[in-house]
Structure 1
Amino acid sequence: MAGLALLPLAAAQARADICAVDALDREVCLERPASRIAALSPGATELAFAAGAGDRVVAAVEYSDYPPEALKIPRVGSHGRLDLERLLALTPDLVIGWVTGNPAEQLERLEALGMAVFYIEPRNFDEISATIEQLARFADTREAGEAEAEQFRREMAALAERHAQAEPVSVFYQVWDQPLMTINDRHWIGQVIALCGGTNVFGELERLAPRLDEEALLAANPEVILAGGRGEDNRDWLAHWREYPSLTAVAQDNLFFVPPSLIQRPTPRLLEGASMVCEQLDRARARREGEQ
């Protein structure tokens, strides 16, 4: 009789054996591998594909444009305002939520309706790899996901090693224009700058993405200005800084464009963005040496 009494517990444990701890430090479990995934940020969509689960993604949000196959996925609003009716109609069995990007009340509503919501917020290189591995566990695509995660770890480490002895270069990274915003050293972009031998002129500020005024930037006088823009090939933000010819970055022509999707999404493509940043800082060093 005792053995029979343990059968329901054993069966429940067998059903709920696909578990991972999310960015809110909650254990999320599925009874079976996810087959219908809702990815509620462009980064979440990329990470799902990186985990080998792209063919399981049935819902995405605006600007989920990579890989190209992601463009075919039905949209359920924007990351900042979800179309819950549309999302529910697609019956996902796993929802990938973005801690600081999705409306908390909408994700809580999904949970109240019984959906499994796994919150992500990778803040560094290791957490990007770990998130890929977690999503691969949920989708039962571990081989593909672990291979992608390990390749990202290995190549980022190699890039760091190549620039370990690089001469410091002072850098300003512009994440937005109005209001003017940057990142601190705890942000993954700040970590990319450090990996490439750069010194973030606002790296010690407390906020992850602090607001500034132009006077603060002029006073910091960085040797390099990095910026994206509204779109993948919009260099208007850099053009603005040419109005200040006394800036060192302007005088030395160290105004460099970085496509936002390559560096402002915590996904494996950050490796491509980091490689570009390292090349740009190397160009700035070469120009400095050319003046000597």
Structure 2
Amino acid sequence: MSRRTPRLFATALAAGVLLLGGCAENTSTDTPAAGASGGAFPATVGKLTLEKRPEKIVSLSPTSTEMLFAIGAGKQVTAVDDQSNYPAEAPRTDLSGYQPNAEAVASRNPDLVVISDNLNKIADQLVALKIPVLQIPAAATLDDTYRQLTDLGTLTGHRSEAEAVVQKMKDDITALTKDLPKRAEKLTYFHELGPELYTATSKTFIGTIYALAGLENIADPSDADGKNGGYPQLSQEIIVKANPDFVFLSDTKCCKQSADTVKARSGWAGINAVKNNQIVGLDDDIASRWGPRVVDLLKVIVDATAKVPA
């Protein structure tokens, strides 16, 4: 995934809550209609109803692409945006999710388009062309992820498979967290979005994943009033003073950050994370998406912290 700047990334995560009209539907709060399960059609999610199973799905969101393939709808996906790099068999194109073009999307003759953000009012334009649109905005909680997977399952004829994916995620998360060591004091961490030191607080989706691992976020006091939407930019001085036990880097691909680059930063040598070699490189893509691979992210976090004696 070509990384957006941390500011744009934070904005995108904080924004995807636009309500769409017509046959476009936002799936952040809506639940599937009663009776819309399995492969039954017509299938309804909120105000969006599909009369038959879509066979030409265009995904303009890397997370949605991952979700569609995870629930068994991959063969129905005929085109994905230029950032959808997982799984490898996803039919990647030059379509953009950041600067979407309605004509380019329509030329693919889709019977369902899945988006994350209504940038360029792409949903309105596609609705005007009578193309069904489903918005899968950035999740705020794991429950949002579970609901989005189920909604996609309902609309693609893979409801039972989606429910199975959700249950496996829940089971895996339970297995990863049930035997966490009891600590007198929580381990602290700094999650780095980019070398400009943008980060995410516990109020964000990524913050809830760290909370599952029992960690305390050093960024929380810096955005106590919520003015930064959960994505503040910290100073070097604040980070050094907070002295986190761990530094997690979600900028290893985009910005080539590593344990070595962190250790070389002025003033960071005395931080516990540096002194104890507890700088953890993450996969940028997994750390910036809210699909089924959040389980993989949680495992990396749990495995890293488990090495510290209770």
Report TM bin, short chain.
0.7 to 0.9
In 2: Cα distance, 1:208 partner to 1:274 partner: 20
Deviation at 1:210, TM superposition (A): 2.0
Comparing 40-49 with 223-232, greater Cα deviation is found at 223-232
Counterpart code for 1:185: S
Superposed CA offset, 1:90-130 (max 9, x none):
1111111113xx51522221122222111112222222122
Q: Does 1:62 align with 2:87?
A: no
Residue number in structure 2 paired with 1:221: 243
Q: Distance in 1 between matches of 2:44 and 2:94?
A: 26
Residue 95 in structure 1 maps to residue 119 in structure 2: no
Letter in 1 for 2:77: V
- Aligned partner (choices 59, 64, 68) of residue 44 of structure 1: 64
String of CA shifts for 1:37-68, please: whole Å, max 9, x gaps.
Answer: 11111111001111211111112112212112
SS at match of 1:236: coil
Which amino acid in structure 2 is aligned with residue 187 of structure 1? Answer: T
Q: Check if 1:251 corresponds to 2:275.
A: yes
In structure 2, the residue matched to 1:86 is 104
State how 1:247-286 maps to structure 2 within 5 Å.
Answer: 247-283=271-307, 285-286=308-309
Cross-structure match for 1:208: 230
Q: Which amino acid aligns with 2:135?
A: Y
Residues 250 and 281 of structure 2 are in contact (CA less than 8 Å); yes or no, is this contact kept in structure 1?
yes
- AA aligned to 2:71 is A
Instruction: Give per-residue Cα distances to partners, 1:4-57, cap 9 Å, x unaligned.
Output: xxxxxxxxxx99841113xxxxx2221212211111111110011112111111
Structure 2 residue corresponding to 1:241, chosen from 233, 251, 262: 262
Higher helix share: 1
- Off by >6 Å, runs of 4+ in structure 1: none
Percentage identity across paired residues of the two chains: 23
Residue from 209, 212, 215 that aligns with 1:195: 212
**Aligned 8 A contact 2:84 2:92 in 1:** no
Which secondary structure state, in structure 2, belongs to the residue aligned with residue 68 of structure 1?
Answer: coil
Partners of 1:169 and 1:126 lie apart in 2 by 25
Whether the 8 Å CA contact 1:124–1:191 is kept in 2: the answer is yes
Question: Gapped runs of 5+ residues in structure 2?
Answer: 1-35
- The amino acid of 1:37's aligned partner reads I
Amino acid at match of 1:78: S
CA distance in 1, matches of 2:96, 2:181: 39
CA distance in 1, matches of 2:191, 2:109: 40
131 and 44 in structure 1: CA distance in 2 versus 1, 3 angstrom threshold: same
Q: Give the TM-score, by structure 2 length.
A: 0.78
Instruction: Indicate if the aligned counterparts of 2:252 and 2:282 stay in contact, CA closer than 8 A.
Output: no
**Structure 2 residue corresponding to 1:115, chosen from 128, 131, 139:** 131
Higher Cα radius of gyration:
1
The offset of 1:241, in angstroms, is: 2.3
DSSP 3-state at the match of 2:220: coil
CA distance in 2, matches of 1:117, 1:209: 29
Please give the alpha-carbon distance, in whole angstroms, between the structure 2 residues aligned to 1:105 and 1:37: 19
Shift of 1:268: 0.8
Question: Normalized against structure 1, the TM-score is what?
Answer: 0.82
Shift of 1:237: 4.8
User: Structure 1 140/16 Cα, relative in aligned 2: closer, same or farther at 3 Å?
Assistant: closer
After superposition, the Cα gap between the structure-2 partners of 1:237 and 1:103, relative to the gap in structure 1 and judged at 3 Å, is: farther
Higher RCO (CA 8 Å, separation ≥ 6 residues): 2
CA drift of 1:235 comes to 4.8
